[in-house]
């Protein structure tokens, strides 16, 4: 079974997703170039407002180093006093102190860089430009105003000996993409900024809740993952800001093959409002 938003990995560049045949509408080349230019400018703004990659990595290492020492202290506190630990392993505590100081200094520097860029109005201008592009994209693609914003999972993979192996990107395997969900006559439609994917509703078979959680690269909702309506799903995150959440596979079949769409479990109600098929557990 192919995943609609599964992308074959290639060293030569981006490959189309396995569900590319479901694309029914696409923005024109001129608008695509304008979007790419805006995205490049947004990345430059983000780079100016944040620490260089190596300093961000150093900050993360300091953060982890501090908590590793604290965990070791807590684990041994019943057997050794803090004074004894300090006598036995003074270097460890010195390293812990250095980690705290370095992390604090880098945190302050990061905030200062952000405020400096923010004070120029560059962040607001970039945000407004992105929002304008989003609105124009919806107009060009004919996306209705009552569409819903939903998260859909994608991934890159390598196929070896007939088996699919998802390729890990930095600290996660899945990209959590915000897409627009709507119904167009007898089709379920999903759209991003560039194109619309349309699926005949009659082809959907069932939802399958997967046993394992997906490790996602980001959180898109305004409400934190551990607050409000999302608290019930027991979503977690690690020190690298990787999000862990259970997910569904919405299965589809037609004369050309079998496909599936992955989405976090908190989006089930939105999909069920359009495609009401059985829900099962893996």
Buried b (16+ CB within 10 A) or exposed e, 49-58: bebeeeeeeb
Name the pLDDT band for 71 (thresholds 50, 70, 90): confident
Alpha-carbon gap, residue 137 to 164, rounded angstroms: 33
Point out the least confidently predicted range of 84-93, 137-146, 210-219.
84-93
Highest mean pLDDT among 50-54, 75-79, 172-176, 236-240: 172-176
Tell me the pLDDT band of 251, cut-offs 50, 70 and 90. very high
Most confident of 28-37, 51-60, 66-75, 187-196: 187-196
The answer to whether residue 122 scores a pLDDT higher than 90 is no
Cα(138)–Cα(135) distance, rounded to whole angstroms? 5
CATH 2.30.29 at 2-27+146-281, yes or no: yes
Q: Does an H or E element contain 108, and which?
A: helix 90-119
**Residue 164: per-residue pLDDT:** 86
What is the widest separation between alpha-carbon atoms in the chain? 74
Read off the pLDDT of residues 25-45 as tens digits, 9 standing for 90 and up.
999 888 888 888 877 887 788
Give the whole-number percent of the chain exceeding pLDDT 90: 50
Which residues are registered as beta bridge partners of 252? 204, 259
User: What letters, b where the CB count within 10 A reaches 16 and e where it falls short, cover 224-251?
Assistant: ebeeeebeeeebebeeeebbbbbbbbbb
262 within 8 A of 177, measured Cβ to Cβ: no
- Over residues 105-127, the mean pLDDT reads 83
- For residue 219, CA distances in Å to 165, 200, 236 come to 24, 29, 11
User: Do residues 248 and 268 make contact, with C-beta atoms less than 8 angstroms apart?
Assistant: yes
Task: Quick: pLDDT tens for 143-193.
Answer: 999 999 999 999 999 988 878 899 888 789 999 999 999 999 999 999 999
Per-residue pLDDT band at 264 (split at 50, 70, 90): very high
pLDDT at 123 over 90: no
Q: What integer pLDDT is reported at residue 177 of this predicted model?
A: 95
Q: What is the pLDDT of residue 62?
A: 85
179 vs 14: CA distance, rounded Å: 20
**Which of 113-117, 213-217, 243-247, 250-254 has the weakest average pLDDT?**
113-117
- DSSP single-letter state for residue 281: E
In percent, the amount of the chain with pLDDT more than 70 equals 100
Could you give phi then psi for residue 271, rounded to 5 degrees?
-70, -40
Q: What is the pTM of this model?
A: 0.76
Strand, coil or helix: 63: helix
Cβ atoms of residues 31 and 140 within 8 Å: yes
Of 111, 214, 204, nearest in space to 155 by CA? 214
Higher pLDDT, 237 or 49: 237
DSSP state of 13: S
pLDDT band at 225 (very low <50, low <70, confident <90, very high): very high
Kindly report the number of other CB atoms within 10 A of residue 218's CB atom. 13
pLDDT of 95 strictly over 90: no
Q: What does the mean pLDDT of the chain come to?
A: 89
What would the mean pLDDT of 207-214 be, rounded to a whole number?
Answer: 96
The answer to whether residue 245 scores a pLDDT higher than 80 is yes
Q: How far apart are CA 259 and CA 261, in angstroms?
A: 7
């Amino acid at each position: 079974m192919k995943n609609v938003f599964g992308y074959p990995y290639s060293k030569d560049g981006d490959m189309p997703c396995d569900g590319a045949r479901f694309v029914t509408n696409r923005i024109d080349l001129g608008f695509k170039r304008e979007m790419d230019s805006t995205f490049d400018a947004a990345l430059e703004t983000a780079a100016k407002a944040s620490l260089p990659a190596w300093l961000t990595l150093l900050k993360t290492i300091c953060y982890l180093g501090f908590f590793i020492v604290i965990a070791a202290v807590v684990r041994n506190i019943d057997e050794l006093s803090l004074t004894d630990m300090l006598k036995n392993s003074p270097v460890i505590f010195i390293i812990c102190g250095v980690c705290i100081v370095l992390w604090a200094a880098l945190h302050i520097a990061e905030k200062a860089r952000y405020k400096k860029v923010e004070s120029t109005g560059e962040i607001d201008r970039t945000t407004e430009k992105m929002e304008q592009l989003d609105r124009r994209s919806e107009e060009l693609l004919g996306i209705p105003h009552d569409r819903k914003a939903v998260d859909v999972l994608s991934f890159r993979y390598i196929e070896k000996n007939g088996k699919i192996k998802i390729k890990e990107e930095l600290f996660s395997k899945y990209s959590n993409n915000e897409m627009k969900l709507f119904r167009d006559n007898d089709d379920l439609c999903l759209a991003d900024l560039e194109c619309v994917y349309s699926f005949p509703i009659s082809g959907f078979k069932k939802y399958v809740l997967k046993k394992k959680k997906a490790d996602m690269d980001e959180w898109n909702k305004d409400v934190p993952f551990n607050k409000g309506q999302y608290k019930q799903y027991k979503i977690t995150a690690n020190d690298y800001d990787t999000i862990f959440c259970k997910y569904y596979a919405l299965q589809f079949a037609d004369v050309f093959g079998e496909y599936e769409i992955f989405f976090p479990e908190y989006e089930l109600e939105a999909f069920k409002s359009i495609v009401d098929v059985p829900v099962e557990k893996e």
